[in-house]
């Protein structure tokens, strides 16, 4: 690999990284500026926290946090309990169709969660 190709490769990687991160940098910059300044890309405008104040006052964030915490805690406890029982059953118990059921469990683990939830959502909305 020549020195020139190494530099071209490095420059391309840096350029790709800048292109990839630029929307995140713009979102961060726009969060601290008014809507008109963000849309017009007025770089010299003053920084403000009004957007955060508006967002904080616009929704009951403490309630959302508590709901999320309770949901995640209950689901985690349930999953821990049932997966422990299932693991014990597969490891220690012998029952007809054990290998087939185990393959079904593994197949369920390999299916991406969003794919199955999308089909369920379509079913509910129909």
pTM to 2 decimals?
A: 0.53
The SS3 call for residue 32 is coil
- For the chain, what is the mean pLDDT? 89
DSSP type of residue 45: S
CA distance 88 to 82: 10
Break the chain into its structural domains and give their ranges. 1-58, 59-126
Q: What is the pLDDT of residues 62-97, one digit of tens each?
A: 999 999 999 999 999 999 999 999 999 999 999 999
CA distance 22 to 16: 10
Can you give the pLDDT at residue 70? 96
Q: What is the pLDDT of residues 32-48, one digit of tens each?
A: 999 888 888 888 889 99
DSSP state string for 62-114: HHHHHHHHHHHHHHHHHHHHHHHHHHHHHHH---TTHHHHHHHHHHHHHS-HH
CA distance 33 to 25: 13
Contact 68, 76 (CB under 8 A): no
Instruction: Give the pair of three-digit tokens for residue 34.
Output: 């008014």
pLDDT > 80? residue 118: no
Q: What percent of the chain has pLDDT over 70?
A: 94
Contact 32, 55 (CB under 8 A): no
């Amino acid at each position: 690999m020549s020195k020139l190709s190494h530099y071209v490769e490095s420059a391309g990687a840096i350029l790709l990284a800048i292109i990839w991160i630029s929307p995140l940098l713009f979102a961060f910059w726009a969060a601290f500026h008014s809507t008109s300044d963000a849309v017009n890309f007025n770089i010299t405008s003053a920084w403000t926290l009004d957007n955060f104040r508006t967002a904080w006052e616009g929704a009951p964030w403490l309630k959302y946090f508590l709901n999320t915490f309770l949901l995640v805690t209950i689901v985690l406890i349930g999953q821990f309990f049932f997966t422990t029982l299932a693991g014990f059953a597969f490891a220690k118990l012998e029952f007809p169709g054990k290998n087939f059921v185990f393959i079904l469990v593994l197949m369920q683990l390999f299916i991406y969660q969003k794919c199955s939830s999308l089909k369920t959502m379509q079913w509910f909305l129909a």
